[in-house]
A and B are shown apart, each in its own frame.
Chain A
Amino acid sequence: MSEMAQQGFDMEVQPSYLDKGYKSTLLRAPSRALVLPKKSLSESTGPLFKDFEIGALDHDLTKNAIKVAEPLGERIVVHGTVTNEKGQPLPHTLIEIWQANSAGRYVHKVDQHDAPLDPNFLGTGRCMTDANGKYRFYTIKPGAYPWGNHYNAWRPAHIHLSLFGGDISSRLITQMYFPNDPLCKYDPIFNAVPTKGRDLLVSTFDLDHTEPSFALGYRFDIVLRGENATPFENL
């Protein structure tokens, strides 16, 4: 089983490149068999952000773009542990975050959805796991938004997350969803993940981490590919 972990994407839980339900994959998925390279130093390592200086408000999307007042919407605090496939926590792991605002609108200029921008909300931030692999960030619960995949297509509320593990094969970009979202079952991007993997993308409501009179808590644990627990010593 440990070989599996080092062998690559676990296709029992990972989506395929090509997915008929998600139309953009048709023109963008590699169609030929992947080549197994002779691995080199460059594959067994990856960029390290251990010493990257996270800004004081980078982990707080409710505050990092305030112009005149607090952003609108439901404040949430998202936390969890980042581990490898053996369950060992991964310390000092950079997590980059981006998302729509509470109305379902992205700041990105390409987003033309007719929902209001929030002048006090940018929707991006970052945080780093601590020595025990734990992370936490504050944000506004994002809204659902429409997209052009098919008639009346809506993306369930989600937060985009980008992580670096100890080597480039553990690189992960994913999306975190919210519990009991009725849109998930209609969403081709969520459903591109095999049934066995879908729950792994859904955060759980966490009363213990809910901050009284301030923010609702959600827990989202993340497992990066591989078994390397000490990425910062392998250079």
Chain B
Amino acid sequence: MSAKKLQTPSQTIGPYFAYGLTPGQYGYNFPGIVDGMMVDKNDEGNVVQIIGTVYDAEGKSVDDAMLELWQNDGERRLFGRYGTGTDEGNKFSFTTVKPKSVDGQAPFINVIIFMRGQLLHSYTRIYFEDEETLNATDETLNSIPEDRRKTIIAKKEDGRYVFDIYMQGNHETVFFQL
């Protein structure tokens, strides 16, 4: 065996990350690296908003999760971060542009979820309801049983995409092994 190094184990983000990782959003006096606004003025017209709630196994909204969004379609590489402890209903909110299709796959955004009670972060993807054609032929989506596929397809409501995340239960979101 080669000199393979053991991975540093993951540990929970815990409940007190906000002043370090999302300080601007939470009103702490420290400049953050990024927030939920993933675009700039030049993106006007193509901008979409994605909101949602994270639910625990008892259906309670989680008020101390942190989400990171990452998208790369070869043209735009966008990253955002948002905590669920400031908005009404413990919602998260990202403003971005919808990525383009890569290699004929349905467009999606990667999501990394951290929270107290998670020793390892979770990965999921946001697909889009109004991409029926590409969604229908997408290899990853088709590898997921049909009744679970909808858990990772954002719904369009009032001009915004809504993407709720269920950690457990009947609607448990599809999480990925990356």
A residues whose Cβ falls under 8 Å from a Cβ of B: 1-2, 4-5, 8-10, 12-17, 19, 22, 24-32, 34-43, 45-49, 52, 55, 64, 83-87, 94, 96-98, 100, 106-108, 110-111, 122-124, 126, 158, 160, 162, 168-169, 171-175, 189-190, 192-193, 196-198, 200-201, 222-225, 235
Contacts and interface: CB of A to CB of B under 8 A. Distances in A.
Nearest to B172: A32
Contact of A25 (B2, B117, B178): B117
Given A83-B5, A174-B10, A225-B7, A25 B119 contact: yes
Most chain A CB within 10 A, of B29, B60, B119, B140, is at B119
A22 B33 contact: no
Interface stretch (B42-50, B64-72, B154-162): B64-72
A60 B2 CA distance: 37
Interface of B: 1-21, 23, 28-31, 33-34, 56-58, 60, 62, 64, 68, 70-74, 77, 79, 85, 99, 102-103, 105, 108-110, 112, 114-123, 125, 139-140, 143-144, 167-168, 172-178
B19 A108 contact: yes
Given A35-B175, A37-B176, A43-B110, A85 B71 contact: no
State the majority secondary structure of interface residues on A.
loop
A76 B73 CA distance: 43
A172 B23 CA distance: 19
A15 B57 contact: no
Contacts of B79: 47
B33 A85 contact: no
A94 B32 CA distance: 13
Nearest to B166: A30
Contacts of B143: 35-38
Contacts of A106: 16, 19
Contacts of A8: 177-178
A111 B10 contact: no
Contact of B168 (A30, A64, A98, A100): A30
Contacts of B34: 47
20 contacts: A4-B4, A24-B116, A26-B117, A27-B58, A27-B167, A34-B176, A36-B143, A37-B176, A39-B178, A46-B70, A85-B6, A85-B7, A86-B2, A100-B16, A107-B28, A110-B64, A110-B85, A160-B11, A225-B7, A235-B77
Contacts of B71: 42
Given A14-B10, A83-B5, A28 B62 contact: yes
Given A168-B178, A174-B11, A87 B31 contact: no
A42 B103 CA distance: 12
A124 to B, nearest CB: 4
A168 B123 contact: yes
A112 to B, nearest CB: 11
Most chain A CB within 10 A, of B30, B62, B77, B178, is at B178
Contacts of A84: 5
A10 B21 contact: no
A5 B13 contact: no
Given A36-B176, A235-B77, A13 B6 contact: yes
A85 B1 CA distance: 13
A98 B115 contact: no
Nearest to B175: A30
Contacts of B172: 30-32
Contact of B167 (A16, A30, A40, A162): A30
